C-alpha cells in the first residue's frame, strides 16, 4: 500500500470519527449540557434516559431527579441551573441542611421533592414567582412547621412526613392547601384548617392530648372540632395510630354510607388510643 492510499484511509478515519462525535453531541440537549457542567460530568453525557431526566421532543427537561451519587461533588447549590420548562424536581443529598432557594427560581416548577437531606432550615427570601403546587420535604429534620412556604400562592400539597415538627400548627395563612401530611412528628395540635383542605394526615404523632381543631365556622371540608360542631361534606378523616383526645362532638351527622352527601364518609380511629368524650346527639348513618 503506497503512501497516498494510507493518507487517504487516515483521512476517511478522521472524517468518520468527527461525524460520529457530531451525531453523539447533537443528541445531547442544551439542558443536558448545562446540567452536566454543573454536575462536573462529561458534557456529552446523555441525560434524557428517563432515570435522571424526562425530556420533551426538543430535549428540554420536564422532570429531573438527582440523588447522592449524582451530587457527590456538589456542596453548593447557589449556581444550580435554571431550566425554563422544568415541572418536577427531585433532590436527595445527605446533609444539605438548608433548602436551597435556587430551586424556587425555576419558573414552571410545579412539584419540588427534597428527601432525606437533613433539611432543618427553609429560606424566607425565595422567589415566589413560580408555579409550585406541591412541596414534599419528607424524611428530613424540620423542627417546626415551615410557615415560610405560605408565600407560595398555588401551594396545594404539603408533605412533611417523618420530620421533627413539634408543637401546634396554625394553617390560617395557607389558603389553597388541599392535602397536608405531618405524620410521624411531634405535633400537638392543628388549628385554623383552611376550607380547601381535603386530606389531613397526622398519624403517629404521639403527644398526649393531641387535637385537630379549626376555629372557622365556615370550614365545610375537614372538621374535627373542639368548639364548633356541624360536620358536613367531610370525605376522609384518618386519625389512626394517634393518641387524640376528641371532645365535644355534639350534634354531628356522622355517616358510614359512602352514598350519602352529608356527614363523614370515613372516620378511621383504628389502632389508636383515642378518647372520645361527649358525642351525644349524633346521627350515625
DSSP codes of every residue in 169-186: EE-TT-TT--EEE--SSE
SS3 39: helix
- Of residues 138, 131, 209, 199, the one with CA closest to residue 167: 209
Burial of residue 209 (CB within 10 Å: 0-12, 13-18, 19+) is: exposed
Global pTM value: 0.70
Instruction: Specify the DSSP class assigned to residue 142.
Output: -
Number of structural domains, the chain? 1
Q: Using an 8 Å Cβ cutoff, are 32 and 47 in contact?
A: yes
Residue 171 lies in a domain: yes
Q: Using an 8 Å Cβ cutoff, are 99 and 121 in contact?
A: yes
Domain containing 118 equals: 55-225
Give, for 22, the enclosing helix (H) or strand (E): helix 3-26
Residue 137 lies in a domain: yes
Beta strands at 61-66 and 53-55: parallel, antiparallel or unpaired: antiparallel
Distance CA 232, CA 254 (A): 9
The number of C-alpha atoms within 13 Å of 284 and in the hemisphere containing its C-beta is: 3
Which pLDDT tens digits describe the chain residue by residue (285 residues)? 565 555 555 555 444 433 333 333 347 999 999 999 999 999 999 999 888 999 999 999 999 999 999 999 999 999 999 999 999 999 999 999 999 999 999 999 999 999 999 999 999 999 999 999 999 999 999 999 999 999 999 999 999 999 999 999 999 999 999 999 999 999 999 999 999 999 999 998 865 444 555 444 444 445 333 322 333 333 444 444 443 334 334 444 444 444 434 444 444 444 444 433 333 344 433
Task: Kindly report the CATH number assigned to the domain that includes residue 153.
Answer: 3.80.10.10
- Of residues 135, 23, 130, the one with CA closest to residue 89: 135
Residue 199 lies in a domain: yes
CA pseudo-torsion sign 41, 45, 50, 56: positive
Residue 46 lies in a domain: no
Residue 234 lies in a domain: no
Amino acid at each position: 500500500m503506497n503512501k497516498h492510499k494510507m493518507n487517504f484511509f487516515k483521512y476517511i478515519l478522521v472524517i468518520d470519527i468527527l461525524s460520529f462525535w457530531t451525531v453523539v453531541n447533537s443528541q445531547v440537549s442544551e439542558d443536558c449540557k448545562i446540567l452536566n457542567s454543573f454536575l462536573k460530568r462529561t458534557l456529552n453525557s446523555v441525560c434524557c434516559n428517563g432515570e435522571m431526566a424526562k425530556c420533551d421532543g426538543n430535549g428540554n427537561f420536564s422532570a429531573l431527579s438527582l440523588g447522592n451519587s449524582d451530587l457527590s461533588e456538589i456542596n453548593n447549590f447557589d449556581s444550580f441551573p435554571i431550566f425554563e420548562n422544568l415541572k418536577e424536581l427531585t433532590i436527595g443529598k445527605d446533609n444539605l441542611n438548608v433548602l436551597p432557594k435556587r430551586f424556587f427560581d425555576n419558573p414552571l416548577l410545579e412539584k419540588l421533592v427534597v428527601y432525606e437531606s437533613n433539611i432543618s432550615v427553609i429560606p424566607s427570601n425565595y422567589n415566589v414567582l413560580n408555579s409550585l403546587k406541591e412541596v414534599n420535604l419528607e424524611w428530613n429534620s424540620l423542627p417546626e412547621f415551615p410557615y415560610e412556604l405560605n408565600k407560595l400562592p398555588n401551594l396545594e400539597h404539603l408533605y412533611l412526613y417523618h420530620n421533627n415538627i413539634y408543637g401546634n400548627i396554625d394553617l390560617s395563612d395557607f389558603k389553597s392547601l388541599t392535602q397536608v401530611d405531618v405524620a410521624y412528628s411531634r405535633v400537638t395540635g392543628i388549628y385554623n384548617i383552611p376550607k380547601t383542605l381535603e386530606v389531613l394526615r397526622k398519624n403517629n404523632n404521639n403527644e398526649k392530648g393531641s387535637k385537630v381543631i379549626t376555629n372557622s365556622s365556615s370550614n365545610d371540608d375537614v372538621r374535627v372540632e373542639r368548639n364548633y360542631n356541624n360536620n358536613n361534606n367531610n370525605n376522609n378523616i384518618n386519625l389512626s395510630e394517634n393518641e387524640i383526645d376528641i371532645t365535644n362532638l355534639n350534634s354531628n351527622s356522622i355517616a358510614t354510607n359512602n352514598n350519602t352527601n352529608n356527614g363523614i364518609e370515613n372516620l378511621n380511629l383504628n389502632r389508636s388510643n383515642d378518647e372520645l368524650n361527649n358525642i351525644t346527639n349524633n346521627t350515625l348513618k
